[in-house]
Amino acid sequence: MIPLIIIAGPTAVGKSDVAFELAKRLNTEIISADSMQVYRYFNIGTAKPSPERQKEIQHHLIDIVNPDEGFSAGDFNERAFKIAEELNRKGEIPVVAGGTGLYIKALINDLGCGVRKDEEARERIKSEFKELGEEAMYEKLKRVDPQAVNKIHPKDRYRIERALEVYYSTGKPLSEFHREERRGTRDERRKNERFEVKYFVLNMDRKLLYKKIEDRVDKMISAGLLQETEKILNMGYDKNLKPFQSLGYSQMIEYLDGKIDFDSAVQEVKKETRRFAKRQLTWFRGVKDAVWIDITEAENIKDISTQIYRMCHDLQR
């Protein structure tokens, strides 16, 4: 099995820093498990590693798709596994770092909806979107897959397209594939046989975490989050695309649309990011065999990476 180290936890807790120090110590590379960092141009609001940091340690699955392209947990599973295999062949232990729990789960358990992308179906759907409009396509999805539509926002065009693509390609609703995975009707023998996993979840005192979140948002605003949002829009990308629905960008869109004043938009980013961190923690509490590390009292990140390094001695060759 391929040895694999997971560094997970809520936003702003310090996952990227710990993974960076650990990767340096192990002389390996990092696979980003962040559903927004895959998109090009969305840099400030997704807290991508700096170019200098990426030059020092190779970070995979960052800046790999355009804003109007789809990317799913199944896509992550497929790409990340290939990278992990290659690192393993070189004698390196892959380090997966990020807060998108579903992506990490998809990789460990080899999940995906089981349907490959179908370009013919996709072109048909894009044509129908042009002809019928967003609202009509959402209503169409309601008719063919009422269970899936309950979890998809009417403005989330990517997920609407993907659900319809699965239906057009197979005649079977996406929700049925998900039910099959939950029931374990896919080949369970494939699950957990690919990796020997060490799963670490970083956490800290809630008040301190919220303070770090607020400080991060302030830094993003100072770094030009609003200007970055405007720049991407001026490139011709639609404001309803999936990455524009993410934290920070959606609030900047609301400000640009005149729905909210700027100070309120910033406060909304902070509030929604705190809520997001709570949801992440809830997700990771459901991960079996994860080792939780409280870094509230940690004096520096290197101490945490050293602690994890020692706990992974049995993975090292």
Cβ–Cβ under 8 Å, residues 94 and 31: yes
DSSP state of 96: E
| Number of residues written out for the chain | 317
CATH of the domain at 162: 1.10.20.140
Give pTM, 2 decimals: 0.82
Same domain, yes or no, for 174 and 57?
Answer: no
Number of domains observed in the structure of the chain: 2
Q: % helix / strand / coil in the chain, to the nearest 5?
A: 55, 10, 35
Structure tokens that stand for 293 in this block? 């590390």
Cβ–Cβ under 8 Å, residues 81 and 194: yes
pLDDT < 50 positions in the chain: 185-190
Residue 136 lies in a domain: yes
- pLDDT for position 215: 98
Read off the pLDDT of residues 173-222 as tens digits, 9 standing for 90 and up.
Answer: 887 876 765 555 444 444 557 999 999 999 999 999 999 999 999 999 99
- pLDDT for position 185: 45
Cβ–Cβ under 8 Å, residues 251 and 191: no
- pLDDT for position 171: 86
Cβ–Cβ under 8 Å, residues 103 and 14: no
Residue 50 lies in a domain: yes
Rg (CA), the chain: 20
- pLDDT for position 317: 59
- pLDDT for position 42: 98
Range of the domain at 58: 2-113+188-205+276-315
